[in-house]
């Protein structure tokens, strides 16, 4: 077999392994590191699909054990994407308030000097759909 044929076989097998991993993630056994790596790798496609902020916000909120401020969410996104993706708190607040909260994907509570957010069951369902979309793309 030619070198190109061997490389293509390896690439195809690698894609299959990644798809199997994503399938597990869709069913709730999410490998966060793999998913965040994929998000950073496919960020241009995610942006082009007009889902970037919402998808990334729901990812950041999906593992939170308590409501988070926009500053905390921004820190999670930067840390999980290994600095590949950085979002300003003000940009996040707009996305949270004017789309995700309005459409019932996140709950928001106004505190003394800040708002905190958490993902809703409807938001978890949307996130699973977006993960399936990412799986189909890769």
Provide the 8-state DSSP code for 101: I
By the 8 A CB rule, do 67 and 116 touch? yes
Structure tokens at 41: 């790798």
Q: What is the pLDDT of residue 73?
A: 92
Q: What is the pLDDT of residue 27?
A: 43
Residues contacting residue 53 through CB under 8 Å, at least 6 positions apart: 87, 91, 92, 95
Q: What is the pLDDT of residue 107?
A: 95
Q: What is the pLDDT of residue 34?
A: 74
Could you give the number of structural domains in the chain?
1
Written as tens digits, the pLDDT of the chain (138 aa) is 555 566 677 766 776 666 565 555 544 555 677 777 777 777 666 665 556 678 889 989 998 999 999 999 999 988 988 887 777 777 788 888 888 899 899 999 988 888 999 999 999 988 888 787 777 665
Burial label for 100, CB within 10 Å (0-12, 13-18, 19+), is buried
In order of 26, 92, 99, the CA distances from 138 in angstroms are 14, 26, 27
For 40, the domain range is 3-137
Helix (H, G, I), strand (E, B) or coil at 34: helix
What is the CATH classification number for the domain harbouring 88? 1.10.10.10
Block residue for tokens 């299959």: 16
């Amino acid at each position: 077999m030619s070198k190109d044929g061997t490389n293509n076989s390896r690439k195809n097998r690698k894609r299959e392994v990644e798809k199997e991993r994503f399938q597990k993630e869709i069913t709730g056994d999410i490998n966060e590191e793999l998913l965040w790596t994929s998000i950073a790798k496919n960020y241009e496609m995610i942006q082009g699909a007009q889902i970037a902020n919402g998808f990334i916000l729901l990812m950041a909120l999906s593992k939170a054990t308590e409501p988070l401020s926009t500053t905390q969410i921004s820190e999670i996104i930067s840390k999980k994407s290994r600095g590949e993706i950085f979002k300003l708190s003000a940009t996040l607040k707009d996305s949270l308030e004017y789309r995700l909260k309005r459409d019932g994907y996140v709950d928001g509570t106004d505190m003394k000097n800040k708002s905190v957010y958490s993902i809703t069951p409807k938001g978890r369902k949307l996130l699973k759909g977006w993960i399936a979309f990412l799986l189909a793309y890769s």
